[in-house]
């Protein structure tokens, strides 16, 4: 995964926070949900790629993808947070 996928995950986290809170107004609660959801979606996306590569025997790819999970989750969470600050 790279920056475009992290942006998609962060934006999806913001949309998920709107659905969970039932509002699109800026609030600390919605920002916290957007940050957590964006980070979780980013980490899940990278994790799924790593597990899938390992399942088909591409262990080199799985090993290369694993260290990327944390930075992608951090970027996706940050993007979710930034998106939640705007209506």
DSSP letter for each residue of the chain? --HHHHHHHHHHHHHHHHHHHT--S--HHHHHHHHHHHHHHHHHHHHHHHHHHHHTT-HHHHHHHGGGHHHHHHHHHHHHHHHHT--
Those residues of the chain that have pLDDT short of 70 are 1, 47-66
- The tens digit of pLDDT for each residue in 60-79 reads 665 666 677 778 888 999 99
Q: Any idea which residue has 């926070």 for tokens?
A: 17
**pTM as predicted:** 0.77
């Amino acid at each position: 995964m790279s920056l475009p996928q992290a942006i998609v995950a962060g934006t999806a986290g913001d949309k998920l926070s709107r659905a969970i809170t039932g509002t699109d107004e800026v609030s600390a609660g919605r920002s916290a949900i957007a940050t957590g959801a964006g980070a979780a979606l980013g980490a899940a996306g990278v994790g799924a790629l790593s597990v899938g590569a390992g399942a088909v025997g591409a262990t080199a790819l799985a090993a290369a993808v694993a260290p990327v999970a944390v930075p992608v989750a951090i970027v996706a969470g940050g993007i979710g947070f930034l998106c939640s600050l705007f209506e």
